[in-house]
Amino acid sequence: MRLALDEARLAARGGDVPVGAVVLAPDGTTVLARAHNEREAGGDPTAHAEVLAVRRAAAALGEWRLSGCTLVVTLEPCTMCAGALVQSRVDRVVYGARDDKAGAAGSLWDVVRDRRLNHRPEVVEGVLAEECAGLLTEFFRDR
């Protein structure tokens, strides 16, 4: 999560909402990809940290299936990102702060664990939650 927090800080410096993500290889320690929100930087509404990290991890592996991988992200994924995580077949989603307004991994919706879907990653929530939430609070307070 510390690596994801570093990425989130990079997003804030670029004017984007401070969300950072890291994809870990099946060994749980090798970093396949890092990313942060780049919606403002690239003018791309889909440039969320999770989507970018998943794309980069798939490129690093040379395939779209991220079986055995873990995505670590500072904020609970939204519906778009949750869908991407299901489609990419990540095994685990670890997030810091809950998103009661748009979260799709247990708070507002639970897309990633929806039994109607063909893949349901494990979800671990609340890792360094206060620090992750603090970055977001500070960012929006300063705006």
| 36 marked as part of a ligand binding site | no
**69 belongs to an annotated ligand binding site:** no
List own/partner pairs for 106-110 with CB under 8 A and 24 or more apart.
Answer: 106/76, 107/76, 109/79, 109/82
DSSP 91-120: SEEEEEE--TTT-TBTTS-BGGG-TTSS--
Q: Which residues are catalytic?
A: 50
Annotated ligand binding at 78? The verdict is: yes
Contact 18, 64 (CB under 8 A): no
Residue set of the binding site for Zn(2+): 48, 78, 81
